[in-house]
Amino acid sequence: MGKVKAVFICQECGYESPKWMGKCPACESWNTFVEEIKGEKVLTPILKVSPLKIDEIEVTNEIRYSTSMEELDRVLGGGIVKGSLVLVGGDPGIGKSTLLLQMANNVASNGHLVLYVSGEESAKQIKLRAERLNVLSSNLYVLAETNLNNIEDVISNLKPSVVVIDSIQTMYKPELQSAPGSVSQVREATSAFMNIAKNLNIATFIVGHVTKEGSIAGPRVLEHMVDTVLYFEGERHNTYRVLRAVKNRFGSTNEIGVFEMKQSGLEEVKNPSEILLSGRPKDVPGSCVVCSMEGTRPILIEVQALTSQTNFGMPRRMTTGLDYNRVILLIAVLEKRVGMYIQTYDVYVNLAGGIKIEEPAIDLGVLCCIASSFKNIPIDNQTVIIGEVGLTGEIRGVSMIEKRILEAKKLGFKRCIIPKENIKGLDSIEGIKIVPVENVYEALEEVLGG
């Protein structure tokens, strides 16, 4: 029996200390050290391995499973890669388990064995949710277990094509003295599932809890070990959910999938632009449409701005779905380059639909919305505004301008304000008026009439 000793481990970054500390010296988090029992390291035999020449390594095309959900396939890079390890994070109640149960049923319906392991719900609870979601495939197996040794034994005997672990924070290895959810247990459990995925060629999905800051709970090494990290985002009071990849070894990290939460489960939103623009007001100051690229998909979104004169010395600035500092910068450009005196006005900017956008290509639309509300002049509701704004008031070019314009044309818009740099090669696009602008002053003259 090896000697055991107590160590204190930071639950945020995994830093180890022989004594308790209030502040972690590695990640500078407060009150994150938890005592754990650690045994002596066991020496393992050294196996002889030899390197391979890169031109001698055989490469085969990854075998992918379709989830029968185009939005999920898009985010994964074309489907589930055989032997991949995918981490799915999101706020409680956002729909992680619902999404993975529907995905598991679709894969099982295509003839693949799928094992759904739940450490948070009993088999009967999963059955009740499955009936509501119309999950009926006989190739879908359910296991309510948290002991990692038992789960490994079931997987090796069943040999499924896809495994879902819900969630990694509930899994534990009996050999470790620490409690489930601790840094040691999470790290050991993830390492075990990674070995299962790679050695048995089983695609594995892991659900991860998130902290109050919105990041995956547990050590940061968790995100480094997996192949793909997906975040399921959305407002609890809003029916729309966004699935976003922040790491993907088998595809782009810029893609998003949009779903709508209904009584029967999550439904794909094929055209997010049409949904996000529904109910848009007409001929109202402070409202316009911008186009953002999420991966290869253009999305049209309504920007709303409201300026209101304040009686206090410090005007208020509020943003929803936008970077606060970016909006402050655009207000400063309006004051310095255009001469709009907004210092005595409160400014509120909102992206309709509860979506969050950080792309600078929507800068010009946000700026025009603020100016429209300030001057009380409405922007033509058949106009889409695209462009990045610099500190000197210039309008910078953006990427994939043709896709943005074609998306606007498809949804019936008649005019598109774009940067002058992007005008080359757009002569072939007909049915929509393209207006190039060089600076903020030109754009406001075109949008608001001076």
Binding residues for ATP: 90-97
Would you call 119 exposed, middle or buried from its count of C-beta atoms within 10 A (0-12, 13-18, 19+)? buried
Which residues does the annotation place in the binding site? Answer: 90-97
User: If we measure between CA atoms, which residue out of 281, 352, 346, 276 comes closest to residue 316?
Assistant: 346
Return the DSSP state at 250.
T
Return the DSSP state at 226.
S
Q: What DSSP letter does each residue of 271-318 carry, written as one string? A: -HHHHHTTT--SS-TTEEEEEEEETTEEEEEEEEEEEEE-SSSS--EE
Q: What are the helix (H) ranges across 134-203?
A: 148-158, 183-200
CB 276 within 8 A of CB 353: yes
Residue length, the chain? 450
Q: Can you state the angle between helices 363-375 and 440-448, rounded to 10 degrees? A: 50
Tokens of 400: 């994939």
CB 239 within 8 A of CB 96: no
Which residue type occupies 182? S
User: If we measure between CA atoms, which residue out of 129, 121, 216 comes closest to residue 170?
Assistant: 121
